[in-house]
Amino acid sequence: MKVVIIGAGLAGLATAISLAAKKHDVTILEQGPRVGGKLNLREHEGFQFDTGPSILTMPWVLEKLYQEAGRNLADYLTLVRVKPEWRGFWPDGSTIDMDADFVKMHDAITTFGANGQQDLLAYLDHAKKLYDLTEKGFYSSTIRHLGDLRKKHSLRELLAMNPTRSVHQNTQRYFRDEKLQQLFDFLVMYVGSSPYDAPAVLSQLGHVQLGLGVWYVEGGLYQIARAHEKLLQELGVTIHLNTKIAKIETKNDQAVGVLTEEGEHYAADAVVCNLEAITAWRTLLKDHPKREAVVATESKFSPSVSGLVFLLGVDRQYEQLAHHNFFFSKEPQKEFDQVFHDQVPADDPTIYIGVSARSDPTQAPQGKDNLFVLTHVPPLLPGETFSTMEKRYREIVMKKLMRMGLTDLDQHVQWSYTFTPDDLHALYGANGGSIYGVVSDRKKNGGFKIANESPDIEHLYFVGGSTHPGGGVPMVTLSGLLTAQTMQDRLETAVRR
């Protein structure tokens, strides 16, 4: 089978590896100057930054991908467990380390109430059960809707996923302390969703973070993209960089290839699109007769949050920072309501800071820190720009960080670079500048994503954060793996006929 893949993001690369391992003829067309998509990097005078994903969880997914190709992941990447997993800071001065070392976690959590340890153990036991259920169905095959899920689970298992409950309702059920509720609620923000709207099954992220652990790749997470590129070269996959696509070509509602902006045609038996599905329908399929009907379903698959990112090379070290840090808001429900319902940046945002130099001193010059500062903001509405808000919101973020202990931060910035929602849209075609693809909302879409296999155009497939199973390094990798298997199954079924 001859396959053309549009985009060399992690999902596109994973699809290519899996298909090439199955002996298919694969060509990747990437509009940017390097592979990786949102997983990218920026360097300046000894400061190094991963500019996209900053954490790695569920490393078994990468191991599975390399096993499919007959390789050992350890021969390509060195993974390091991050300790503590996260550090949380609150406006009242209290802090906590999320640590899979339960002796340390116990000591820390008792300051948040006498029942803290008991609450934590009960919650994590529940989170593991949810993860195990999800692994059985959601992570093992392409899922389009509830009907597909029913084929994988008994009614009892489906009910155990708490389909009518939100992540926050679930967290509230286990933790009495509001700060602990906020701590575990916020994990779901890293799939771009609100804990007040996301389905309770995503409470499994507590187990993903503490049970399976948070990992770092020696040399920076961009090493994942470099390792994939090396493996693809070994597998004989052709990668064309700086190649922009003008159109997905179809005939009788079948994908038959792609056309580049330079006018070059690439014929294919199947096309895999790593560009977000809604963006692809708006641009690469804009002349297709089914376009209007497909785009009309957009409200069901609203974009996840976007982000305002500051890369800060600072001329000192802030010793209170761990590798991963949350600076929480005082009123979490107000924060989520503003971002997800009012569609405005929060007055008091929770701020994430990643300092990869804590785990890898090569990421910053000696005695200095590389701060990856991320604040989630609403996705852009059509015709909207974040440029009018950027300066004011940077002030809000910097003042909050200085107020919460990063003394004179503004005076210690040696170098900085900013990514806005506009940049995320322009660079990666992200719908509204979305970071994580499609929002998980139990009322809008039940937590389901866009189907990997197009129901409208035969032999067209979508991979990436907007599709099943969602955003984040392991999820988009699974997106590629599961889609490649679906394509293989379709081919074998056609051969048998």
Concatenate the DSSP letters of all residues of 419-480 into one string.
Answer: E-HHHHHHHH--GGG-SSSB---TTTTTT--B-SB-SSSBTEEE-STTBTT-SSHHHHHHHH
Q: Which amino acid is at 249?
A: E
Tell whether 322 and 423 lie within a shared domain: yes
Which has more confidence, 446 or 489? 489
Report whether pLDDT(173) > 90: yes
Q: What is the CATH number of the domain that holds 180?
A: 1.10.405
- Helix, coil or strand: residue 52: coil
Tell whether 281 and 326 lie within a shared domain: no
Which has more confidence, 268 or 291? 268
Residues 401-443 pLDDT 10s: 999 999 999 999 999 999 999 999 999 999 999 999 888 888 8
Cα dihedral: 158, 159, 164, 170 (round 10): -100
Tell whether 296 and 309 lie within a shared domain: no
Per the domain annotation, does 440 fall within a domain?
Answer: no
Report whether pLDDT(497) > 80: no
Q: What is the pTM of this model?
A: 0.94
The pLDDT of residue 496 is: 62
Residues 291-327 pLDDT 10s: 877 776 777 888 999 999 999 999 999 999 999 999 9
Per the domain annotation, does 48 fall within a domain?
Answer: no
Residues 14-38 pLDDT 10s: 999 999 999 999 999 999 999 999 9
Report whether pLDDT(396) > 70: yes
Token representation of residue 338: 């503003």
Q: What is the CATH number of the domain that holds 372?
A: 3.30.519
Per the domain annotation, does 272 fall within a domain?
Answer: yes
Longest dimension (CA), the chain: 70
Tell whether 419 and 483 lie within a shared domain: no
Report whether pLDDT(100) > 70: yes
Tell whether 120 and 204 lie within a shared domain: yes
Tell whether 111 and 206 lie within a shared domain: yes
The pLDDT of residue 32 is: 95
Instruction: Taking residues 265-291, report their average pLDDT.
Output: 93
Q: What is the CATH number of the domain that holds 253?
A: 3.50.50.60
- 151 contacts: CB under 8 Å, gap ≥ 6: none
The pLDDT of residue 483 is: 96
Residue ending a domain, choose from 144, 179, 213: 213
Lowest mean pLDDT, pick from 145-159, 211-225, 478-492: 145-159
Instruction: Taking residues 64-69, report their average pLDDT.
Output: 97
Per the domain annotation, does 130 fall within a domain?
Answer: yes
Tell whether 129 and 191 lie within a shared domain: yes
Looking at the structure of the chain, the number of domains it has is 3
With 0-12 CB in 10 A as exposed, 13-18 as middle and 19+ as buried, what is 287? exposed
From the list 362, 376, 419, the residue with the least C-alpha distance to 189 is 376
Per the domain annotation, does 93 fall within a domain?
Answer: no
Confidence of residue 109 (pLDDT cuts 50, 70, 90): confident
Instruction: Taking residues 109-137, report their average pLDDT.
Output: 84
Residue ending a domain, choose from 152, 183, 213: 213
The pLDDT of residue 495 is: 63
Kindly state the percentage of the chain with pLDDT values over 90. Answer: 76
203: containing domain: 107-213
Tell whether 165 and 313 lie within a shared domain: no
Per the domain annotation, does 337 fall within a domain?
Answer: yes
Tell whether 286 and 234 lie within a shared domain: yes
Kindly state the percentage of the chain with pLDDT values over 70. Answer: 98
Report whether pLDDT(449) > 70: yes
The pLDDT of residue 115 is: 73
- 471 contacts: CB under 8 Å, gap ≥ 6: 191, 192, 304, 435, 436, 437, 465
CA distances from 477 to 56, 94, 404 (A): 12, 37, 36
d(C-alpha 366, C-alpha 416), whole Å: 18
d(C-alpha 163, C-alpha 156), whole Å: 12
Tell whether 224 and 187 lie within a shared domain: no
Per the domain annotation, does 46 fall within a domain?
Answer: no
Instruction: Taking residues 49-61, report their average pLDDT.
Output: 94
From the list 17, 80, 26, the residue with the least C-alpha distance to 271 is 26
Per residue in 45-68, is it b (16+ CB within 10 Å) or e — as a string?
A: eebbbbbbbbbbbbbebbbbbbeb
Residue ending a domain, choose from 170, 186, 213: 213
CA distances from 206 to 137, 303, 327, 333 (A): 19, 24, 18, 20
Per the domain annotation, does 100 fall within a domain?
Answer: no
Residue/partner pairs of 258-261 with CB below 8 Å, 24 or more apart: 258/4, 258/6, 258/29, 258/284, 260/29
Tell whether 341 and 407 lie within a shared domain: yes
Tell whether 168 and 68 lie within a shared domain: no
- Do the Cβ atoms of 246 and 259 come closer than 8 Å? yes
Report whether pLDDT(158) > 80: no
Confidence of residue 150 (pLDDT cuts 50, 70, 90): confident
